[in-house]
Structure formats: C-alpha cells, structure tokens
Amino acid sequence: TRKELLHVKDSLFQIELFHLSDDAHDRSRFSRRRYVEVFPSSCVWLPSAEDVVIQKLRWSKGAKRAKDFADAIAVMAVQGNTLDWPYIEKWCTEHETLDVLAEAKAEASLSWED
C-alpha cells in the first residue's frame, strides 16, 4: 500500500492518504471504509476498526514497529468485543500474523475486564 503524509498548515494535524493496491486485503479494507462526519458539514473516509487492527499488526510484524503494535492494542482495548474477530483472524491467518494478534489480544483484553 502506497501512503502519502500531508501536514495541515499551522496545525499539528497530519493526514495519511492510502492508495488502493491489488492486495486482496487492501481491496477488502477499501470496500469496508466508512464515511464519517468529523466536524459539522465535514466528512472523511475512515477504515473500519478491524482493518486498522489488521494493518497495524501487519506493519508491526513486517517493520517491527512498536508504535503500530501499541496502536493495534489501543484499538482492541477500546472496541473490545464489538470487533468482528472472525474477519480479523481470517486476514491475520492470510498475513501470517496470528501470533502477533494473540499477543496483542492478550494485552488488550486486560482492559475489557474493567
């Protein structure tokens, strides 16, 4: 997936733009994106929470980026049992990241018990 990073002038905001590739998960991720109102009369396309988890785990294993792993845990901790776990497990199986998913899920589940 090709990514572009845009910096919003005179702010701390950054916008990540992802281009659609031929990857099967990319196609699925783009078809599941959601149109969300972020400010009155201002909407953006955002990936589903499940696809954020899948992609972050994929990046964390491939590039060994601790930030991506922590981001995946944070999404799991907030979304918990509302996530579509069979969908996540399907793609983690495909990407060979089930081991990373199990580790992240164990860490995130600590907050589900609160």
Number of other CB atoms surrounding residue 97 within 10 Å: 23
What are the tokens at 111?
A: 């907050």
pLDDT band at 70 (very low <50, low <70, confident <90, very high): very high
Half-sphere exposure of 113 toward its Cβ, with a 13 Å CA cutoff?
6
Instruction: Tell me what pLDDT residue 39 has.
Output: 85
112 — pLDDT class (breaks 50, 70, 90) = low
What is the reported pLDDT for 96? Answer: 95
CA 68, chain centre distance (Å): 9
Tally of domains in the chain: 1
| Beta pairing class for 34-39 and 42-46 | antiparallel
Task: Return the structure tokens found at 63.
Answer: 């590039």
Domain membership of residue 60 as a residue range: 3-112
Is 0.95 surpassed by the pTM of this model?
no
